[in-house]
């Protein structure tokens, strides 16, 4: 029996489905995946900055409540943000009583794409991090995971945010059985938390930015 094909189109964007979703690192969509999306009433750069500013995640995320940086390309600087090659430990709240940690490495940060630069095509920006198998002492053939964050500029100061994580490897089926429904809920929480934080921060900036008077 051949494995199922990766989801596409409307099926891909159905958050109730945990079917396989392709990522650049897991092209066949793996064993299962978790998906969430949400429109955000703020420009794409506000969403982009919120995701990269990992020190601030604790201020808004109920899913990943803290991020420890264990290695960074520019560790001598203050106020470190996520960069390609950043090694991190995520402190994850699966439920009110079950907490865990996950070692991750940032695999890709795309240059922010906006409609101002790509008005005749979809202005999509991607940020990805992977389960860091080397520091987790967990071979990739047992468990491999890649998280994708997609930021689309809708124009007019609005953004569509999409995120999915794909799991592959021999133990992925066990993780699906144990955590599928919990992760579905947590991904929705992540999207709602991100939206609330970004919109509030952007609205505050709009209020504090003085208007330019007409000459």
CATH number for the domain harbouring residue 79: 3.30.530.20
Q: What integer pLDDT is reported at residue 214 of this predicted model?
A: 45
Count the domains in the chain.
1
> What would the 3-class secondary structure string for 173-191 be?
HHHHHHHHHHHHHHHHHHH
List of residues 6+ apart from 212 with CB closer than 8 A: none
Neighbours of 67 (CB within 10 A): 20
Per-residue confidence band for 213, with pLDDT thresholds at 50, 70 and 90: very low
* Pairwise CA distance, residues 26 & 11, whole Å: 18
For residue 55 the two structure tokens come to: 């020190």
Residue 14 lies in a domain: no
Q: What integer pLDDT is reported at residue 117 of this predicted model?
A: 86
pTM: 0.93
Asked whether the predicted pLDDT for residue 74 surpasses 50, the reply is: yes
* Rounded (10°) CA dihedral 35, 40, 46, 50: -40
Residue 93 lies in a domain: yes
29-33, 137-141, 184-188, 196-200 — which is least confidently predicted? 137-141
Beta-carbon-side half-sphere exposure of residue 109 (alpha carbons within 13 Å)? 13
List of residues 6+ apart from 130 with CB closer than 8 A: 25, 104, 105, 107, 144, 145, 146, 147
Contact 51, 149 (CB under 8 A): yes
Residue 81 lies in a domain: yes
* Pairwise CA distance, residues 108 & 206, whole Å: 30
Residue 211 lies in a domain: no
- Calculate the average pLDDT of the chain: 93
Q: What integer pLDDT is reported at residue 209 of this predicted model?
A: 60
Residue 10 lies in a domain: no
Asked whether the predicted pLDDT for residue 132 surpasses 90, the reply is: yes
CA 172 from centre of chain: 19
DSSP 8-state secondary structure symbol assigned to residue 2: P
Asked whether the predicted pLDDT for residue 208 surpasses 70, the reply is: no
81-85, 113-117, 128-132, 168-172 — which is least confidently predicted? 113-117
Mean pLDDT of the region 179-196: 98
Residue 28 lies in a domain: no
For residue 146 the two structure tokens come to: 């890649």
Greater model confidence, 185 or 215? 185
Full residue range of the structural domain in which residue 146 is found: 35-206
Residue 51 lies in a domain: yes
Greater model confidence, 95 or 76? 95
List of residues 6+ apart from 60 with CB closer than 8 A: 50, 193, 194, 196, 197
* Pairwise CA distance, residues 160 & 88, whole Å: 26
Residue 118 lies in a domain: yes
Q: What integer pLDDT is reported at residue 175 of this predicted model?
A: 96
């Amino acid at each position: 029996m051949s494995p199922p094909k990766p989801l596409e189109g409307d099926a891909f964007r159905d958050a109730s489905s945990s079917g396989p979703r392709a990522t650049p690192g897991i092209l066949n969509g793996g064993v299962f995946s978790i998906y969430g999306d949400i429109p955000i009433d703020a420009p794409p750069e506000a969403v982009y900055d919120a995701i990269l500013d990992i020190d601030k995640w604790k201020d808004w995320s109920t899913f990943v409540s803290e991020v420890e940086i264990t290695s960074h390309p520019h560790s001598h600087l203050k106020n470190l943000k996520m960069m390609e090659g950043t090694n991190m430990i995520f402190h994850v709240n699966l439920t009110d009583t079950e907490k865990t940690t996950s070692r991750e490495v940032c695999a890709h940060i795309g240059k922010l794409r906006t409609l101002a630069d790509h008005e005749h095509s979809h202005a999509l920006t991607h940020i990805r991090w992977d389960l860091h198998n080397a520091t987790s002492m967990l071979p990739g053939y047992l468990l491999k995971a890649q998280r994708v964050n997609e930021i689309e500029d809708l124009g007019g100061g609005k953004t569509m945010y999409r995120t999915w994580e794909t799991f592959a490897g021999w133990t992925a089926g066990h993780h699906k059985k144990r955590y599928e429904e919990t992760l579905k809920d947590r991904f929705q929480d992540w999207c709602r938390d991100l939206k609330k934080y970004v919109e509030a921060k952007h609205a505050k900036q709009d209020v504090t930015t003085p208007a330019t008077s007409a000459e």
